[in-house]
Amino acid sequence: MRNLLNLTNEELQNYFNELGEPRFRVKQVYQGAFQKGYERFDRFTNLSKKLREKLAEDFTLRSFKELERISSPLDGTTKFLWQMADGRKIESVIIYEGKRVTFCISSQVGCALGCTFCATGKMGWLRDLNAGEIVEQVLQMSRQAKSPPTNIVFMGMGEPMLNYDEVMRAAEILSDNEGLNFSRRKITISTSGIIPGIRRMADEERPYRLAISLNAAFQHKREQVMPIAKKYPLPQLMEAAQYYYRKTRKRVTFEYVLIAGFNDSLDDARELVRITRKVPCKINIIPVNSQDDNFPAPSEAKLRQFEQAVQDSVYAVTVRNRKGWDIQAACGMLYATNEAKGKAATHKVDVQTVKMKDERLKMKEKI
């Protein structure tokens, strides 16, 4: 059965046209599904009973089951692990920063890029999400959040540019003025540096913001932590970022995950300034949040030193606090923990099953 959340405004309009229903039905259903957050069609009391039954026959409104939820007592960051209709699992996160409420959402189950400091990269790629599954993350978290989201970022599990069509379709649904009506300027599409996706986003003049994960300013270092850098080297990536700005006149955000002893020196900071100088941009410096001891977070002194070195340039620089570090809120961590639990539980069941079989065999031998 199809998920109604996967339908654009135009597609829903075509559906109602086939039923001989008026155009305003789209607005009624979109408002109920997105603004009011209805999870069952019997809640749509402004529709006839017959139409509600027809919608329930043709569509679902929810497909997720919440498996786990962890909230940080330090900063309120809340991470969710969802199980989808096919049993696959994804993560989403709510991040609170003053009046700013950011929903971080996934675009794929797993990721094919294998960034070494990222837990999602260790999963490999399992499948793409469809637009409805991306949208449902926002609606599910909206029910739980302390206040509505001010920003939506495609920075969860997966590489958005490798699921480009569904990501853009989801962004279109989320920003539809008859539905959630979320500001297009407050939706950010993040990429690890997939150049064709960056250029396509520019050519199509998409109204959303672009963030590029750099994480190293030297090519040889970037290749060590982000294998995709071998296919899309830094010089070409910077050219794509310049192209994006020329086409859209939108400032690019560069994300820089700071790893102690690897990319946090003054030389790294100076090189970061140099390679981004030709791109009107904002730089987010983020202390690494990893379970791997090979990727330690920098000291506060080192962090501030790096920040100051970059801040001395002409750019806007923001140091992002390690939100949710105490609950391991970085991509893929909750998934990995849940999978480990599942394997342990499965192993216990298997051992018990073996014991039962052994007992049955012994009973048969006695008989």
Q: Is 102 helix (H, G, I), strand (E, B) or coil?
A: strand
State how far the Cα of 236 lies from the Cα of 23, in Å rounded to an integer.
47
Helix and strand numbers (H, E) in the chain are 12, 14
End-to-end alpha-carbon separation of the chain, Å? 52
Q: How far apart are CA 222 and CA 236, in angstroms?
A: 13
Q: Determine if residue 114 is left, alpha or beta; phi over 0 gives left, psi from -120 to 50 gives alpha, anything else beta.
A: left
Q: Known catalytic residue: 91?
A: yes
CA 155 vs CA 192, 218, 265, 308, 347: distances in Å? 10, 23, 26, 26, 33
Instruction: Out of 115, 118, 281, 331, pick the active-site residue.
Output: 331
Nearest to 11 by CA among 183, 49, 200, 2: 2
Mark whether 331 is an active-site residue. Answer: yes
Per-position DSSP letters for 148-207, written without gaps between them: --SEEEE-SSS-GGGGHHHHHHHHHHHH-TTTT---GGGEEEEES--HHHHHHHHHTT-S
Characterize 219-232 residue by residue with b for buried, 16 or more Cβ atoms within 10 angstroms of its Cβ, and e for exposed: eebbeebbbbbeeb
CB 282 within 8 A of CB 253: yes
Q: Are 139 and 32 in contact (CB under 8 A)?
A: no
List the catalytic residue out of 91, 133, 159, 255: 91
Residue 18 one-letter amino acid: E
CA distance 88 to 122: 16
The Cα 148–Cα 244 span in angstroms is 30
Any idea which residues carry the catalytic annotation? 91, 331
